[in-house]
Structure formats: structure tokens, C-alpha cells
Amino acid sequence: MSRAIFIQDLVELLLRLERGMQEFETPLPQQTEESLITAVAAFGDEALPTLLTRFTDSFTNIGHGYIGHGYIAHGYIIEVLERIGNPAAVPALIAFHQNYGNYDSRAGAMSALRMLDTEQAYTYMSEVLTRYALGNTRVVDSPLELVIACRALGEWGDLRAIPPLMAAAQIHHEPAGMPQAAIQALGRYPAAQKFLAKFASQNAPSDGGVTDEGTAHTSKDHDHQPEPE
């Protein structure tokens, strides 16, 4: 058996796992998913063409993750793409997030885009924040995606991140960490300090505002999503 065929078989097995354990007559051993993800990711760029082809086919040809008689969550493949860390995966991840993902998988795609650290990814996340702030709430399935995008733009270090983060500062979804994530990201940019000072003067700390240093204050009653790794 060639390495290429072996990689194809591993990726196909990963897709079967994505459909859920009902694919198998008896339960699989614990840690099967993690072991398979690790195995595929270990091939690195060698596995990338097969991964991207099957990943793209699984959502563009069928739509929204459904294939055959089962649903494909895509979370495992997205995690493998993130671990491999090749920027070539960015266009496929953007297409998936933009058109096909569900609650968990879209957040996973956004997290992978953050980790892949490319201008294309940052530009897309900027667009998502801006469009949401303008009222298009369908650009995400969960506020966690907005938080991930804000943290990514804070890490970008490019002044182009400031306008979308300013827009995101107007998004109020405190239980998920908004606008705190946007304010904290803006705190990384000296050019945004004037905006932060004005924002702080208009938002009392007890109401989820910020200090003059741009550090978010949250109510003790607020529950927050775990910080993406």
C-alpha cells in the first residue's frame, strides 16, 4: 500500500467518525478520535491535498454537512487542518464558515482561522465583525465566533483591525463576552486609546464597561464562554 492510499483511508475513516458513532456496530475504544486526528495530522502537508479535497467535497457537493444517510460535523477535519497549520487551508475554512457550518463547526473554523494567522483570515474576520455590527446576525451561529474574531484581530497587530473592532465594541452580548472581547483587543493598539477613553466615559464599570486602560469589567452575575486556546 502506498502512503497516498494510506492517507486517503485515514481521512475517509475520519469522515466516518464525523458522522457519529452510529456508523459503527459496536462502540469504538475511548480516545479513538484523538488518536486518528493525531495520526492524520502527523503526515502534515503530505495529507493536505486529500484533506482539503474531501473537506470541500463533503460540504459543497452536499450542502450543510449532510452526506449519504448521516450528518458530517467537520470538527475533526477542521482540527487536523488547524494542527497542520498550512495557510493553504484558509480559503476552504472561510468558504465553510461563510456558507455551510453549524454552531460548533463554525466556531471551530473561526478558531482555526485565528491560529493560521494569515492576512486573508484576518480580513475575513474583520468583515464578519463589521457585518454583524451592522445588523447581519446570520454571519455567525454563536457569539463565541465574534469573541474569537476579536481576539484574533487583537493579535494581528495591524491598524486595519481597529475599525472592525470599534464596530464590534457596539455589540452587546455580555454572557458570551461581548463587547469585552472587542475592548480588550483594542487595548493592544495605541491608536485606539482615544476611542477607548471615550467608550469608558460612556460605560460605567458596573454595567460591563471598561477602565481608562481598556480593560473590561464584567458583572459577577455574567457567565462567559471558555477562552479559545
Distance of CA 121 to CAs 4, 159, 168, Å? Answer: 29, 15, 17
Enter the C-alpha cell of residue 124: 475575513
Question: Does a structural domain hold residue 202?
Answer: yes
Does one domain contain both 69 and 147? no
Does one domain contain both 157 and 51? no
Does one domain contain both 219 and 161? yes
Does one domain contain both 219 and 129? yes
Q: For residue range 95-129, list pLDDT tens digits in order.
A: 999 988 777 889 999 999 999 999 999 999 999 99
Query: Which pLDDT score is estimated for 208?
Result: 46
Q: For residue range 165-206, list pLDDT tens digits in order.
A: 999 999 988 767 899 999 999 999 999 999 999 999 887 555
Q: For residue range 205-227, list pLDDT tens digits in order.
A: 554 444 433 333 333 333 334 44
Question: Does a structural domain hold residue 105?
Answer: no
Does one domain contain both 146 and 202? yes
Question: Does a structural domain hold residue 190?
Answer: yes
Does one domain contain both 121 and 229? yes
Distance of CA 214 to CAs 122, 125, 126, 221, Å? Answer: 22, 21, 20, 21
Residue 63 clears pLDDT 60, i.e. is over it: no
Rounded mean pLDDT of 61-84?
69
Enter the C-alpha cell of residue 6: 494510506
Does one domain contain both 64 and 125? no
Question: Does a structural domain hold residue 111?
Answer: no
Helix H or strand E segment including 160: none
Query: Which pLDDT score is estimated for 158?
Result: 97
Question: Does a structural domain hold residue 156?
Answer: yes
Number of structural domains found in the chain: 2
The range of the structural domain enclosing residue 34 comes to: 1-86
Residue 150 clears pLDDT 80, i.e. is over it: yes
